[in-house]
Every structure is written in C-alpha cells, then in structure tokens.
Amino acid sequence: MNTSENHLHEFLRIFFANKRLIKRTFIYMAVLVLILPAFIKESYDISAQVVVQSKKLSQADASTSLNADTDKFVPPTLADMETESTMLRSPGLMRKTIEQMLQEGYFAPEDSLLNTWVKQPLKNYVITPLKTLIGSNAEKRDTRVENLTEMMLNSLNVVTLPGSNVVSVTYSSSDPTLAVDLVNRLLDNYMSIRQEMQSAEMPSAFYEQKRSQYQKQLQHLQQQRLDLLRDYNVSDPAVEISFNLQAINSEEQALSGLNDRLLESQHWLSYLQKNLDAMKKADLTQAAFPYTFSSTQNGLTYDDAEIRQLTTLLTTQINEYGDTTATFKSGSLPVKQQSDQIQRTRNQLLKVIANRIDERQNDIRVMQDVVTQKTSRVASYKERIHKLQDVQTQLDRLTTDLNALQTVYAAYTQRFEESRTQQVLDDQNASNAKILSRPFIPTQPSTPGALKVIISGLIAAAFLSLALGYIREFFDHRFKHPAQVQGKLQLPVLLVINDQTPAEVNPHKRGSIKWLRYWTSH
C-alpha cells in the first residue's frame, strides 16, 4: 500500500512529527489573541445618507412664459453621483468643517506623558534655540488643520449605493459624539455650498440691472415722445391729419363755388358797366336798360323790384313820349314835360344801376377776400398736415423703438421675476441634493467584540500552527517512514526497528504552571 496516498495518515504523521512546533506556536498565538482585545480600541461607524433628486434644466429663453411646461427635469446620471461623492470627500469641505470645529473648541490637544515630558521640552529647549542660533526665525506653518484633515479623510468613506441615487457617508471614530458632530457639520457645509452654487445659476442681480437699464431707456423715449407732441401741440397726429384733410376738402369745395360765383360776378359786372356806359351815351328815347337784375339761389329766383319798376316806368314814358311827339310839336309844353319826366326817370334808373354795380363790386371784393382767406386757410391746413406727417414719421420711429424696448424690458422683467421666485424656492429648497438621514450615536461599536476576536484569533492560531508544521515538514528532507527509502533510493527495506524509548511522562501536577511549562517545552 502506498502510504503517500493516505492523506489522513500523512496529516497525522506530519502533525505528530512537528507536534512541539505546532503546540508552541498555537500557545503563543493564543496568548497573543487573549491579550489583543485589551489593546484594541472600540470604533463606531457613524452613517448618513444624501439623496440626489432629478435636476431642473435652466430655461435661458427670455421669451418663455412662466408656466409649468417650461420646467424640465432630468434624472441624475452616474457622473452626477460621482460629482456629489467627490464634493462630499473634497479636502476643502473637510478643512472648512475642521476649522469651524476648532474655533468652537473641538479637537483640543491631549496632554499625554509623551507630549508633556518629551515633545514639548524638546521643542522649547532644543529645537527653538537651535533655530534662533542658526538664524532660522521663519515661523513654521501650523499643520494641525492639514493633519486633522488627512486623518478625517482617511476615516471617511463616501460611496454611491449601487443602482440608486443615494450617497452613503460613513465615518469611523472611537468618539461617537465627536463623529456625529463632524458628520452633521460636514453635511451642513455641503448643503451650504450647493445652495451657493444653485444661487449662482440664477443671476437675479443681472436681470434686475438689465431691466433697470431698459426702463431708463423707455422713460427717455417716452419723454421724447411727449416733448415732440407738446412742441407741435398735437395729441394724435393721425386723427388730426384726417380732420385737416376733411377741412381742406370742405374749404376747397367752398372755394370752388366762390371762384365760380366770382367769375360769374366779374363777367356780369363787366356787362353792366358796359351797358351803363352805353345807356349814358344813348338818346333819350332809347329803350330801357337790358337787364332785370334777377338772381337764382337754391332754385329760387329773386328780382330787383326797384329796377324792374323803374325800367317799366321808363318804357311806359318813352312810349308816351313817342305818342306826344307825334301829336305835338317838338318844342311844345307837353313834349318838354314828357321829356323831363323821361330824363328824371332815366337818371333815377342810372343812379340805381350805379348803386347796384357798386354793390356787385363790393360783393366781388368780399368774395375775393373770402377766396384769399380760404386759400390761406387751405395752405395753413396743408402746412399743418406736412408738419403732422413729419411728427407722425418721428412718432412711428419712436413707437418702433418703444415697442422693441418694451418687448426686451418685459422679457427681462419676466426673467427677473422668475429668477427671484426661483431664488425664494432655493432658499427653501437649496438644491436637488437632500439629506436623507442624519447621523446618530450607535448603541454598539462597529468593531468586533472581545469574544469574536478571541474565537477568530484561536481559529487563526490553529491554522497558522498547522501551516508552520507543514512548512517545516516541507523543508525537512530526512526519511520519516520506509516508503520514502524505497521511493528515493530504489532499494528494498529489509528491516524496520522501532524506537523503544519509553515516552516521557509529565512529572508535575496536571493543571499547574510547571505542568503547563513542561507540556509546552516537550
């Protein structure tokens, strides 16, 4: 039978062959394991959690209305979670937290024996005088904050929980109260930094400044518009232009009628003057004046009764004069009387006609004055229209600028109100990162207890002792059983002589210290 294939026999052979080494190693390790719990400090794991919610996309379009459709939210990505973890583990955040806690009296230096009797005297009586002697008076930078920062970062563990948007913050320390205060202050500073970052995304001061600038420009343009209207004494150029055009149309129609009447009156005046001159030169017995002085107004005909009466009387007297001259001699009294009557009637008619001509001349002058006045009025209306058109052009340009500025002003006002509203919301809700759970003092330490340390240490000591026994057996090349001789030398084993030396018995009392010492050494 090949004994090398019997693993249990091989194990027992190696165990009993190296029993002393295995036994001593196990005892030394067991003693060390029993002493070790007295030197292990208790450690507490202080945990907190931060949840990163969906983040809002900033709407930079100033023309966007303030409604719920403009809010866009996207879930946090893996890069966002890594960013939050990096911020929580940033040395600057930890340094700021430690500086605040140092100012409040945390992390007071411990007056240990080593510090009191060795470090402080060595610094005060050796290092400082040597620096003064060699002229090195430069003050060394206080590295306490940096040392504490490095130590705290080494004890801080920030990880993102797999498959979630939660960041776990774990700090290990032997002082749970100090650790809870540190983690709480760290979370508060982290949220403060996030709030500052979120506030920087909404520059309400910038929108307010731009709004004020456009408001001043609007006021300046509006004042220009008012000054322009006051300078030309107008309220609405378009309405006044329409009114003036209507007035011009009415005046031109009246002016056209006056011009027609004036032309007609001038022709009639020329006609009357010509016939009056002819009548003055005519004979006594010539027919009456060839004009009745009738006029038509609004479809009604008006006659001059006096002219008509004198003309009729003159015609009658001329007819009677003809009959008288036919009956009497030319120098007779009836002829002279009839001739004197005709002359008086004729002179009276000429005088009346001259008066009517004067009246017509006066009417012509009045109509000419009216025509001149209406022409001047039409010209003034047209000149006013030209000025109003210039005013309207300037007002259109100012209105265009005002509309453009009002649009921009309204946009910046909207953005300012939106940013101010968002800032109010940010004061209540600093960012999309929330503290899910605050740290608390645990009831039990996170490090294993003494019983667990002893049990695991004894098991480890047993395996280490057996491993040392196998290592010693591996480097021991002596023959331990006949099969090794036959396998190595290729020679048959003829005789095996067992060791007949009796086993030594522990002479001491079982359980005593001497018995344990003898059992350990043999």
CATH of the domain at 306: 1.10.287
- Domain membership of residue 507 (yes or no) is no
* Domain identity same for 288 and 167: no
- Residue 117 is predicted with a pLDDT of 47
- Residue 291 is predicted with a pLDDT of 73
User: Which one of 398, 427, 456 terminates a domain?
Assistant: 427
Q: Kindly report the pTM of this predicted structure.
A: 0.43
- Domain membership of residue 486 (yes or no) is no
* Domain identity same for 195 and 278: no
* Domain identity same for 269 and 195: no
Number of domains in the chain: 2
Bridge partners, 52 (sequence order): 433
Q: Which residues have a Cβ under 8 Å from the Cβ of 444 and sit 6 or more positions away?
A: none
- Residue 173 is predicted with a pLDDT of 82
- Domain membership of residue 487 (yes or no) is no
- Residue 379 is predicted with a pLDDT of 92
* Domain identity same for 179 and 253: no
* Domain identity same for 345 and 248: yes
Which residues form the domain of 314?
237-427
* Domain identity same for 322 and 367: yes
- Residue 339 is predicted with a pLDDT of 84
* Domain identity same for 286 and 402: yes
- Residue 472 is predicted with a pLDDT of 80
- Domain membership of residue 226 (yes or no) is no
* Domain identity same for 250 and 146: no
- A 10 A CB-CB count for 397 gives 11
- Residue 178 is predicted with a pLDDT of 85
- Residue 362 is predicted with a pLDDT of 92
Bridge partners, 50 (sequence order): 167, 435
* Domain identity same for 278 and 407: yes
pLDDT, one tens digit per residue, over 451-477 is: 777 788 888 888 888 888 888 877 777
- Domain membership of residue 127 (yes or no) is yes
Q: Which residues have a Cβ under 8 Å from the Cβ of 24 and sit 6 or more positions away?
A: 520
User: Which one of 427, 459, 480 terminates a domain?
Assistant: 427
- Domain membership of residue 14 (yes or no) is no
- Residue 376 is predicted with a pLDDT of 92
* Domain identity same for 192 and 315: no
- Domain membership of residue 417 (yes or no) is yes
Residues lower than pLDDT 50 in the chain: 1-4, 59-69, 110-117, 137-141, 200-202, 428, 430
3-state SS class at 445: coil
Letter string b/e over residues 174-192, b meaning 16 or more CB atoms within 10 A of that residue's CB: eebebbbbbbbbbbebbbe
pLDDT, one tens digit per residue, over 401-432 is: 889 888 888 887 887 777 766 655 555 454 67
* Domain identity same for 175 and 256: no
- Domain membership of residue 73 (yes or no) is yes
* Domain identity same for 306 and 398: yes
